Copies of this chain bind each other. A is one copy, B any other.
Amino acid sequence: MHAILDADYLCHLGFVRDGAPVVLPTLYARVAERLYMHGSVGSRPLRCAGEDTGIAVCLTVTHVDGLVLARSAIHHAINYRSVIVHGTARQVTDPAERSTALNALIENIVPGRATDTRPANTKELAATAVVALDLDEVCAKVRTGDPNDDPEDLTLPHWTGVLPVARTYGTPTPAADLDPTITIPHYLTNR
């Protein structure tokens, strides 16, 4: 489960607002047995996470690894790795833990970047809520491999197999206002 979580930085975070479900794309990072998210102190789920009871959430991460083309329509599927975390998200108030979390959120997106950027200042930190979710109730679902066709379909004339899918990274594009003497850092060219 750690490997699946560590291979991504974007989750879909579900919570209940006025009785109805809400699912928001959200950045996250794992530190030991805890996930961290952050955002504006004004945003709804983060504000609720600051209340005594915290906020009940479901955090889901899904990697698509392949399109599974079976001989029959019904057995078409996706190869994927998914982790679902249920629990209570709570705001982090301890300055040291907040700092650890914000570092992890940068490092999880681009390893090596946290030490090559200006850290948040006091005003920015005051405007940022950090939320923690413990990895207590976690399940993983994974599908790999070939299609599972029914025996009676094996002689059908349709091509069957898997089309691999991956997330890939392109060439870093400098910002328009970047000083041209600043070169692309090694942690980006290694990617």
Residues of A within 8 A of B (CB): 9-10, 12-16, 19-25, 27, 56-60, 62, 64, 66-67, 69-74, 76, 78, 80, 82, 84, 86, 102, 106, 109-110, 113-114, 116-120, 124, 128, 146-147, 149, 153-179, 182-185, 188, 191
A156–chain B nearest beta-carbon distance, Å: 6
A7–chain B nearest beta-carbon distance, Å: 13
Residues of B with C-beta under 8 A to A160: 174-175, 177-178
Residues of B with C-beta under 8 A to A106: 73, 76
Residues of B with C-beta under 8 A to A82: 25
User: Judging by beta carbons under 8 Å apart, are A159 and B174 in contact?
Assistant: yes
With A56-B20, A157-B182 as known contacts, state yes or no: A188 contacts B176, CB within 8 Å: no
A76–chain B nearest beta-carbon distance, Å: 6
User: Could you give 23 example pairs across A and B, Cβ below 8 Å?
Assistant: A9-B78, A10-B78, A13-B23, A14-B14, A15-B21, A16-B19, A22-B84, A22-B86, A25-B62, A27-B78, A72-B118, A73-B119, A76-B117, A116-B158, A118-B153, A159-B174, A159-B188, A162-B172, A162-B173, A163-B173, A164-B169, A164-B170, A165-B169
Instruction: Kindly report which residue of chain B lies nearest to residue A114, judged by CB atoms.
Output: B73
User: Judging by beta carbons under 8 Å apart, are A60 and B159 in contact?
Assistant: no
Identify A24's interface contact among B9, B60, B117, B188, CB under 8 A: B60
**Which 4 interchain pairs have the tightest Cβ spacing?**
A164-B170, A12-B12, A14-B23, A14-B21
User: Judging by beta carbons under 8 Å apart, are B161 and A173 in contact?
Assistant: yes
Give the distance in Å from the alpha carbon of A10 to the alpha carbon of B190 in the complex.
29
